[in-house]
């Protein structure tokens, strides 16, 4: 199959306990902003919006604590200093997010700072600050994984119970119960929203007939691979695969059969390429394969293998399906559009030379040498 969908990778919840997943959730921004995330992705935009809104809530809560604490100095000096420090932390992360659209700190850090200040304030006698915990439960559910959100929510509830044990009132028990219900409901709603968001993103980025990625998703991936080459000399190649005489297949056998041919070709390619590679439907009967860390010589071998495998498929009762394939690696281009144009010209050259063949834009010697040193063998 094509490379693992990054949206699914972000959204998936681990099936069992994993220290690696815990470290990721605690000390990285993976759930909100993976380091290689595409800012144009729907899921990224959703999480970015939640982060911005929750930062405003955290800042408002801290400002209220600062105002209340400053009126009772010097007894509340430590609480005031902590609230000011936490507010500065939230302001810094907020400015970074609003100005740069990226994440200065994992969301758990400002969340922990804000929750700590609010609990401290409640323990100091400011019972009215209890109600700030409700929007902060929304922040837990919206910004963290389910496991971490539940764990922190339980820690907050346990802290409240410890603080209230000396003077437990019925209303305190009721409020704590409502807080637990709020956390459970918000986590459920957030999971539902995340699932629907992922489904919308899948619809926006994939071809509904074949399941391959679409052209919209191809361009940012090509740009990313071009940037990797320009910064780190990491090679990658595009294969442009065009089914020969596809119109005659539709005319002779009908569009339903033509659709099954496309699906069969996509399944073969998806099963053959590596997990790090990606398959896109460019349009009609044209497909693009993005081979990661593969220069033109190895990409030509891959293309030849795919051409022979497709020709050997029994997709039609009385004829073979053949393809013409163009190949070009990233060392020959300066932009994604130019890269696509070059591989397109190579594919048309294959058409002009009789179809059912592979044509490539030749790599420079430096690119080939780099591949020999750095590129793993094609499986």
Report in angstroms the alpha-carbon separations of 333 from 230, 330, 338: 10, 6, 6
DSSP secondary structure, 174-231, as one string: HHHHHHHHHHHHHHHHHHHHHHHHHHHHHHHHB-TTT--EEHHHHHHHHHHHHHHHHH
Helix, strand or coil, per DSSP, at residue 291? strand
Q: Which residue has the tokens 């048309």?
A: 348
Helix, strand or coil, per DSSP, at residue 277? coil
Q: What is residue 70's predicted lDDT score, i.e. its pLDDT?
A: 78
- φ/ψ of residue 206, rounded to 5: -125, 155
pLDDT single digits (tens) 320-354: 999 999 999 999 988 999 999 999 999 999 999 99
End-to-end alpha carbon distance in the chain: 14
- φ/ψ of residue 207, rounded to 5: -85, 125
The structural domains of the chain, ordered by start, are 6-204 (no CATH), 213-374 (3.30.70.270)
pLDDT higher at 192 or 59: 59
Whether the CB-CB separation of 96 and 21 falls below 8 Å is answered with: no
Instruction: Report the distance separating Cα 236 and Cα 305, nearest Å.
Output: 18
Whether the CB-CB separation of 149 and 183 falls below 8 Å is answered with: yes
pLDDT single digits (tens) 72-102: 655 678 888 999 999 998 998 888 877 776 6
Least confidently predicted of 114-128, 130-144, 195-209: 195-209
Percent of the chain whose predicted confidence (pLDDT) is above 90: 42
Instruction: Report the distance separating Cα 169 and Cα 94, nearest Å.
Output: 38
Does residue 173 carry a pLDDT above 70?
yes
Helices first, then strands: H and E counts in the chain: 14, 6
**Tokens representing 286?**
């044209």
pLDDT single digits (tens) 202-228: 677 888 899 899 988 899 899 999 998
Instruction: From 305, 274, 291, select the one nearest 363 (Cα to Cα).
Output: 291
Q: For residue 256, what pLDDT band results from cuts at 50, 70 and 90?
A: very high
Whether the CB-CB separation of 244 and 357 falls below 8 Å is answered with: no
Q: Mean pLDDT of all residues in the chain?
A: 81
Q: What is residue 102's predicted lDDT score, i.e. its pLDDT?
A: 66
* Residues belonging to the active site: 285
Instruction: Report the distance separating Cα 247 and Cα 271, nearest Å.
Output: 26
Q: For residue 10, what pLDDT band results from cuts at 50, 70 and 90?
A: very low
Torsion of CA 125, 129, 131, 132, to 10 degrees: -140
Whether the CB-CB separation of 32 and 143 falls below 8 Å is answered with: yes
Distance of CA 49 to the CA centre of its chain: 15
Whether the CB-CB separation of 152 and 140 falls below 8 Å is answered with: yes
Does residue 44 carry a pLDDT above 80?
no
Q: For residue 174, what pLDDT band results from cuts at 50, 70 and 90?
A: confident
Q: What is residue 363's predicted lDDT score, i.e. its pLDDT?
A: 65
Strands 278-283 and 286-292, by their bridges, are: antiparallel
């Amino acid at each position: 199959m094509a490379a693992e969908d990054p949206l699914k990778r972000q959204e998936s919840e681990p099936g069992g306990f994993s220290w690696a997943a815990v470290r990721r959730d605690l000390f990285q921004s993976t759930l909100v902003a993976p380091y290689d995330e595409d800012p144009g992705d729907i899921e990224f935009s959703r999480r970015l919006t939640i982060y911005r809104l929750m930062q405003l809530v955290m800042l408002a809560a801290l400002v209220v604590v600062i105002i209340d604490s400053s009126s009772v100095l010097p007894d509340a000096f430590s609480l005031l200093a902590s609230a000011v420090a936490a507010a500065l932390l939230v302001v810094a992360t907020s400015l970074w997010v609003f100005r740069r659209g990226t994440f200065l700190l994992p969301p758990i850090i400002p969340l922990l700072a804000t929750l700590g200040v609010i609990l401290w304030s409640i323990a100091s006698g400011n019972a009215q600050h209890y109600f700030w915990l409700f929007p902060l439960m929304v922040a837990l559910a919206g910004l963290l994984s389910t496991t971490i959100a539940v764990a922190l929510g339980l820690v907050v509830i346990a802290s409240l119970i410890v603080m209230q044990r000396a003077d437990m009132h019925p209303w305190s028990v009721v409020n704590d119960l409502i807080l637990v219900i709020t956390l459970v409901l918000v986590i459920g709603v957030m999971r539902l929203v995340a699932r629907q968001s992922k489904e919308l993103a899948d619809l926006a980025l994939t071809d509904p007939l074949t399941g391959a990625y679409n052209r919209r998703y191809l361009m940012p991936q090509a740009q990313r691979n071009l940037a990797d080459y320009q910064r780190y000399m990491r090679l990658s190649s595009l294969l442009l695969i065009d089914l020969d005489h596809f119109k005659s297949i539709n005319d002779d056998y009908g569009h339903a059969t033509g659709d099954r041919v496309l699906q069969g070709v996509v399944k073969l390619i998806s099963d053959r390429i590596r997990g790090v590679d990606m398959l896109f439907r460019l349009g009609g009967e044209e497909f693009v394969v993005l081979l990661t860390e593969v220069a033109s010589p190895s990409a030509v071998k891959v293309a030849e293998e795919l051409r022979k495998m497709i020709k050997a498929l029994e997709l039609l009762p009385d004829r073979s399906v053949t393809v013409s394939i163009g190949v070009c690696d990233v060392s020959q281009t300066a932009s994604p559009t130019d890269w696509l144009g070059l591989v397109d010209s190579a594919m048309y050259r294959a058409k002009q030379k009789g179809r059912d063949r592979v044509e490539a834009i030749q790599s420079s010697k430096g690119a080939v040498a780099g591949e020999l040193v750095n590129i793993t063998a094609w499986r």
